[in-house]
Amino acid sequence: MQEKLKIDKQLEKRCRNAARSIADDIQSRIEGYTTTAVERTVIRTLGVDGVSNEEIPLPNVVVEDVKRAGKLDKGAAYWFGNAMLETEKSPQEIAEAIDRGELSLTSLPERNFKEIKQLIDSRVAETVNKIEGSREARKDLQERFNLGPKPWLYVIVATGNIYEDLRQARAAAREGADIVAVIRSTAQSLLDYVPYGATTEGFGGTYATQENFRIMREGLDEVGEEIGRYIQLVNYCSGLAMPEIAIMGAVERLDMMLNDAMYGILFRDINMKRTFIDQYFSRMINSYAGIIINTGEDNYLTTADAKEEAHTVVASQFINRELAIRSGLKPEQIGLGHAFEIDPDVEDGFLLEVAQAQMVRQLFPDCPLKYMPPTKHMTGDIFKGHLQDGLFNLASVMTGQEIQLLGMLTEAIHTPFLHDRALSIENARYIFNNARHLGDEIVFKQDGIIQKRADKVLSETAIMLEEVAEKGLMGAIEEGMFAGISRTISGGKGVEGVIKKGEDYYNPFLDQLKEGLNI
Amino acid sequence: MDDNKKRIKPYGDTLNDGKVQMSFTLPLQAGPEASEAGKMLAEQMGLEEVDVVDIKDLGEGFCYLILYGKVKYSVDRSQVRITRVEMETMSYYEVNDFIRNKIGRKVVVVGACTGSDAHTVGLDAIMNMKGYAGEYGLERYPEIETYNLGSQVPNEVLIKKAIKVDADAILVSQVVTQKGAHVTNLTELVEMIEAEGLRERFILVVGGPRISHELALEIGFDAGFGRGTIPPEVASYIVQKINEREGDSNGSYDQIEDGSK
């Protein structure tokens, strides 16, 4: 195929090399650590669920018990397996006994590790099989029903009530949406646990819980069956409980997860070490479950200027991709994010957007690109907003984007009404259909505005990545090189949950995932 | 004034034709029943000659209607009252001079988008270095010390920060709302500040496209700024209010010398 834009291969190589060294450095800094969230995830794979009388999730109760004794460096699974052998109780019964204060995992006599490992490994294998089951079920359903042509239409629901969300999601699916994301309740990312059960109250969104995942999945499968299309479900695998959300999504057959290398650090002030450790583990789970991750580079542009800071987005895409591959994600599971956020008053702004979208398309030909709509420059003028969204849709179909988060004409006013979503689906369908093969007809002019813009952004990207590689990603974040926000290595939330692994650290889930993913 | 101009009505293509467009969703399947229901609703809203120009089924038992009609009612211009923030708008330089001469110390401002709101565009327009509409933001003012806490800040975090840095003023921005959440949120902030007995300590300012000064006063803020507000307007208000609270005694030249470090 003829290249539409000329990409300077030398520059591209510099970018890839720098990104590789950045990812290797991160990997070497997190290898020796685990976190409380990782350990809670392992406990969940053993079958512990539910909450205490004080609404504290039992996996938290279990891990807290070991942490208090200062013995998490061996891995929660070791202590838990030991207790299963010693007490001959079920995992749930043990968790409940700890909650009642009748049992402490670390005060029991210690059994032979071989015995523990045998018991726990087979338990964990059951969960791993369950994840495989979900992956297979998805594959079967996607073979029976179509996924719809790309760009896929991605809409959000955010009522706070899972049942109302479902109703809106089903309506959107009927109108043509391919993907539904349930926006999380405000600041759930800062909860160091996952809430439990179906929820009907939330602020700016709906809590991510395993039961809510199940309700949406079931409802979307039902409507998908009716309309003969597989509707993909999305949630947020981020924040302090990131890997726990990953395991829930894997079991309940979510199809995509928002999962960015730096979002939590920059925008939620979560400790960077904690984030990278949790993320590495979560991404392995996502990978094994066949989930497509969506990275969040669009967020940089809501604080920084989209025209001036375009290269930070591309730099982050290179880094996100390299880190994701180290967790076993295949390129087709790495949905790299970017956004249509240039000020609409900029002359030829549309050309600059096309340059960026086309360039990333060619730089990452095997990754499904996630394209985010205008938000920063949306106003109360819904008519103009609808046009801005139209241009966004045109740029997308022209450049072969794949995951299209639809813009809402009421973006700057309220969370979407039912008809806002309908209008935005209509907008996208009209433009995608009307210009379906426009991209195939285009080659960009040599030395034209679009080609020059792409050259400029890529060369800035290479310079930035090399600077980041030199400082290390953690150092670069400290210096505020992304989104203009600076975070320190030892600062931020959740730092107390980072634990150095002991020599005899045991994590059966991690071991089995690594084996399954060949990493 | 001629009576036609004294009474105000929407304008389509003829003065006082009262033409308006409207769209909404009904929990009914698209069809003659939904169309008629939409028309009846519009009539109850005071429209005449209602025309349902489009109706679309949205699935799950909902449909979307677009209508036109003529408003029966009109408004008497002489009865229109607006509440505005009372102040004299100064320029960037005048505000800094005012602080140096009358307040004699740095003015501290903490700003945040609170609650679920992730849209910092309004807050950034007022606070960021770059500013808005050609006017520098508060960060650029040498006599103002600013703390921009960004988006989705819980009220308690905002209050804590304001206490910690001994803020003169708290700026809250609310852009996007869900079921009126912005008002609940703002009210909660005022209540929390009052509960801690700090109401007199801070100047409370709220801004956003759906914010009016009237609404701001109603929920207990000192001032509200709506769409199109520029940074020097907010700055002018804050410094004049500080001056008014602290009285002129604070502004002697001696103290300026002390404060200039």
User: What is the rounded distance in angstroms from the CA atom of residue A358 to the CA atom of residue A336?
Assistant: 13
B181 and A203 within 8 Å at the Cβ level: the answer is yes
Query: Shortest CB distance from A170 goes to which of B60, B175, B210?
Result: B60
What residue spans of chain B are helical by DSSP H? 3-6, 32-44, 92-98, 121-127, 155-164, 181-195, 213-218, 231-246, 253-259
A174 and B60 within 8 Å at the Cβ level: the answer is yes
**Structural element, H or E, at residue B7:** strand B7-8
What are the structure tokens assigned to A136, written together? 């297979």
Q: Domain span at residue A61?
A: 33-124
Reported for A184-190, long-range contacts at CB under 8 A and 24+ positions apart, including other chains, are: A184/A208, A184/A235, A184/A236, A185/A160, A186/B115, A186/B116, A186/B152, A187/B152, A187/B154, A188/A236, A188/A239, A189/A236, A189/A238, A189/A239, A189/A240, A189/A264, A189/A268, A189/A270, A190/A239, A190/A240, A190/A268, A190/A270, A190/A493
Using a CB-CB distance cutoff of 8 angstroms, which residues of chain A are in contact with residue B60? 167, 170-171, 174
Residues A87 and A170 in one domain: no
Buried b (16+ CB within 10 A) or exposed e, B155-190: beebbebbeeeebbbbbbbbbbbbeebbbebbebbb
Residues A428 and A298 in one domain: yes
Residues 97-126 of B with CB under 8 A from A: 115-121, 124
User: What is the rounded distance in angstroms from the CA atom of residue A34 to the CA atom of residue A104?
Assistant: 21
Residues A161 and A257 in one domain: yes
Name the pLDDT band for B256 (thresholds 50, 70, 90). very low
Using a CB-CB distance cutoff of 8 angstroms, which residues of chain A are in contact with residue B121? 376-377, 412
Helix, strand, coil tally for chain A in percent (to 5): 55, 10, 35
Asked if residue A288 is part of any domain, the answer here is yes
Q: Reply yes or no on whether the pLDDT at B251 is more than 90.
A: no
Residue in A with minimal Cα distance to B61: A171
Asked if residue A460 is part of any domain, the answer here is no
Asked if residue A511 is part of any domain, the answer here is no
Digit-coded pLDDT (tens) for A10-34: 999 999 999 999 999 999 999 999 9
Domain endpoint, select from A407, A437, A452: A452
pLDDT value of position A2: 64
Name residues whose C-beta falls within 8 Å of residue A96's C-beta, 6 or more positions apart in sequence.
A58
Could you give the C-alpha distances from B67 to A163, B40, B77, in angstroms and in order?
30, 11, 27
Using a CB-CB distance cutoff of 8 angstroms, which residues of chain A are in contact with residue B115? 186, 203-204
Using a CB-CB distance cutoff of 8 angstroms, which residues of chain A are in contact with residue B23? 419
Active site residue A370: yes
Domains for chain B: give ranges and CATH numbers.
3-77 (3.30.30.60), 92-246 (3.40.50.280)
pLDDT value of position B253: 38
Domain endpoint, select from A418, A452, A486: A452
User: What is the rounded distance in angstroms from the CA atom of residue A244 to the CA atom of residue A36?
Assistant: 10
**Model confidence, pTM:** 0.86
A171 and B60 within 8 Å at the Cβ level: the answer is yes
Contact (Cβ atoms closer than 8 angstroms) between residue B155 and residue B189 = yes
Using a CB-CB distance cutoff of 8 angstroms, which residues of chain A are in contact with residue B24? 419
Residues A117 and A151 in one domain: no
Q: Which amino acid is at B105?
A: R
Q: Is A228 on the interface with B (CB under 8 A)?
A: no
Q: Which amino acid is at A395?
A: A
How open is the CA angle A14-A17-A20, to the nearest 5 degrees? 150
Angle, nearest 10°, between helix axes A449-471 and A349-363?
60
Residues A74 and A208 in one domain: no
Category of B61 on φ-ψ map: left (φ > 0), alpha (ψ -120 to 50) or beta: left
Asked if residue A3 is part of any domain, the answer here is no
Name the pLDDT band for B1 (thresholds 50, 70, 90). low
Asked if residue A467 is part of any domain, the answer here is no
Q: Reply yes or no on whether the pLDDT at B87 is more than 50.
A: yes
Give the CATH number, domain containing residue A441.
Answer: 3.20.20.440
Q: Is B178 on the interface with A (CB under 8 A)?
A: yes
Residue in B with minimal Cα distance to A377: B121
| Nearest partner of B115 among B158, B88, B84, B155, judged by Cα | B155
DSSP character at residue A294:
E
B178 and A204 within 8 Å at the Cβ level: the answer is yes
Reported for A54-58, long-range contacts at CB under 8 A and 24+ positions apart, including other chains, are: A55/A196, A56/A99, A56/A193, A57/A193, A57/A194, A57/A195, A57/A196, A58/A92, A58/A95, A58/A96, A58/A99
pLDDT value of position B245: 87
What is the nearest CA distance from A267 to chain B, expressed in angstroms? 9
Digit-coded pLDDT (tens) for B126-170: 998 777 777 888 988 999 999 989 888 889 999 999 999 999 999
Contact (Cβ atoms closer than 8 angstroms) between residue B222 and residue B208 = no
User: What is the rounded distance in angstroms from the CA atom of residue A427 to the CA atom of residue A432?
Assistant: 9
What is the nearest CA distance from B256 to chain A, expressed in angstroms? 34
A186 and B116 within 8 Å at the Cβ level: the answer is yes
Q: Is B88 helix (H, G, I), strand (E, B) or coil?
A: coil
Using a CB-CB distance cutoff of 8 angstroms, which residues of chain B are in contact with residue A415? 176-178
Q: Reply yes or no on whether the pLDDT at B261 is more than 80.
A: no
Q: Is B176 on the interface with A (CB under 8 A)?
A: yes
Residues A360 and A274 in one domain: yes
Name the pLDDT band for B4 (thresholds 50, 70, 90). low
Angle, nearest 10°, between helix axes A76-87 and A113-144?
110
User: What is the rounded distance in angstroms from the CA atom of residue A177 to the CA atom of residue A486?
Assistant: 38
Residues A118 and A249 in one domain: no
Instruction: Name residues of chain A where pLDDT drops below 70.
Output: 1-2
Choose the mutation target among B176, B182, B212 for the interface with A, i.e. most A CBs under 10 Å.
Answer: B176
Q: Reply yes or no on whether the pLDDT at B107 is more than 50.
A: yes
Query: Shortest CB distance from B154 goes to which of A187, A302, A418?
Result: A187
Give all strands (DSSP E) within A252-322, no chain letters.
Answer: 256-258, 292-294
Using a CB-CB distance cutoff of 8 angstroms, which residues of chain A are in contact with residue B116? 186, 203-205
What is the nearest CA distance from A417 to chain B, expressed in angstroms? 9
Residues A100 and A186 in one domain: no
Residues A105 and A203 in one domain: no
Count of CB atoms within 10 A of residue A147's CB? 15
Q: In this predicted complex, what is the ipTM?
A: 0.86
Angle, nearest 10°, between helix axes A508-517 and A36-45?
80
Q: Is B247 on the interface with A (CB under 8 A)?
A: no
Residues A243 and A384 in one domain: yes
As a whole number, the mean pLDDT across chain A is: 95
Q: Is A375 on the interface with B (CB under 8 A)?
A: yes
Asked if residue A135 is part of any domain, the answer here is no
Residues A265 and A374 in one domain: yes
A411 and B176 within 8 Å at the Cβ level: the answer is yes
Q: Is B75 helix (H, G, I), strand (E, B) or coil?
A: strand
Burial class (CB in 10 A: 0-12, 13-18, 19+), A34: buried
Domain endpoint, select from A65, A94, A124: A124
Q: Reply yes or no on whether the pLDDT at B259 is more than 50.
A: no
Give the active site residues of B. Answer: 130
Using a CB-CB distance cutoff of 8 angstroms, which residues of chain A are in contact with residue B209? 379-380, 412-413
Q: Read off the pLDDT of each residue in B254-258 and give the average, rounded to a whole number.
A: 35
Q: Which of A370, A371, A389, A506 is catalytic?
A: A370
Q: How many domains does chain A have?
A: 2
Residue in B with minimal Cα distance to A173: B59
Asked if residue A500 is part of any domain, the answer here is no
User: What is the rounded distance in angstroms from the CA atom of residue A438 to the CA atom of residue A442?
Assistant: 7
Residues A88 and A219 in one domain: no
Give all strands (DSSP E) within A62-176, no chain letters.
Answer: 152-157
Burial class (CB in 10 A: 0-12, 13-18, 19+), A490: exposed
